[in-house]
Amino acid sequence: MSVERRQAIRVPGPFEAIWDGQSGGGVCRLSDLSEDGCFIESLCAPDKGEQIEVMATLAAQQLRLRGRVIYVVPAVGFGVAFLRSDDTAARTRQVLEEVAS
């Protein structure tokens, strides 16, 4: 049995988005989204450790989040941990609370 370690609000998605990084980018879907990170469903994936930018619209608000790829599941997608300032975290938390309610 797995124990949940994350404390942040998580929203299952999917949410349409675009990712962009040094190795490429493309249209994708976000799932398991929290203020700390998400899983990005995409046939193309950046390298583990690469920094990327994700742009998504949730609750009629545009979110632009930067993150680092923490793992890759080939031909499925990749996990991202967001790099954030306090302002970005607060805004993301607010949008997620709107989507979750």
Q: What does the domain layout of the chain look like in residue ranges?
A: 10-100
pLDDT reading at 96 higher than 50: yes
Triad 83, 14, 91: Cα angle to 5° = 40
Domain 10-100 fold is Thrombin, subunit H (2.40.10)
Q: pLDDT (tens digit, 9 = 90+) per residue, 27-38? A: 999 999 998 999
Q: What pTM, to 2 d.p., does this model score? A: 0.85
Cis peptide before 46 (omega within 30 of 0): no
101 to 7, 8, 38, 41: CA distances (angstroms)? 17, 15, 19, 24
Q: pLDDT (tens digit, 9 = 90+) per residue, 33-54? A: 998 999 999 999 999 999 999 9
